[in-house]
Amino acid sequence: MVTELAKGKTLDEALKITRQDVADELDGLPPIKMHCSNLAADALKATIKNYKEKHKEKHKKGKEDKGPSKKEIQGEKEFSGKGVYHKVKEPSSLKDKRILIQDKGKESMELAGALAGYSPRVIFLTEKKSENIPDNLKAKLKKSNVKILYESELIGILGLNEVEKVKIHDLDEDNTYELFVDAVVI
């Protein structure tokens, strides 16, 4: 019922949904079950407040409207020429490698699609949300079997003598994880 009441509302409007609103909509709910409706209304408010707190910093900085970040990536210089590429002159040199391509605009998206012809394991990493990628490019990448990691940023490149894995920050979930790759295109 809380979901039904919240549908089509802005976050601020949904925050105004009260326990009583839910109870009124559930006319005839046995008193012993009324606490469930209270929990649902409370959970909605807590979720919205959590979302707003988590995204407050992004909205202040206008991060969602900007392009890819220009942050320094740990290990980028160290692995330059050892699996880190800033330009790919010969795509066939990456044949059958696990390739991660960092979003630097339309050119990098097109490169991801082209590299998919040489490797079945191409990952395109972007800080953008799905809806901020043009549909025609999304479709082209999907058709090429390129895996897209949305709302993610590359924060580190790891390995012994050459690239072995990358460290990625999931901006939506605010956590980090590692992914095995052989090549990184920045």
Average pLDDT over residues 80-103: 93
Residues 91 and 175 in one domain: yes
In a domain, 89, yes or no: yes
Instruction: Tell whether 38 and 89 lie within a shared domain.
Output: no
* pTM more than 0.85: no
Determine the average pLDDT of the residues in 119-138: 84
Lowest mean pLDDT among 25-39, 92-106, 138-152, 158-172: 25-39
22 lies in which domain range?
Answer: 2-61
AA letter at 75: G
pLDDT band, very low/low/confident/very high, at 28 (cuts 50, 70, 90): low
Give a yes or no: residue 96 inside a domain: yes
Question: Are both 134 and 177 inside the same structural domain?
Answer: yes
* Number of structural domains found in the chain: 2
Calpha distance 164→91 (Å, rounded):
19
pLDDT digits (tens, 9 = 90+) for 76-87: 999 999 999 999
Please indicate, yes or no, if residue 72 is contained in any of the structural domains.
no
φ/ψ of residue 160, rounded to 5:
-90, -75
CA distances 1 to 37, 46, 156, Å, are 8, 17, 44
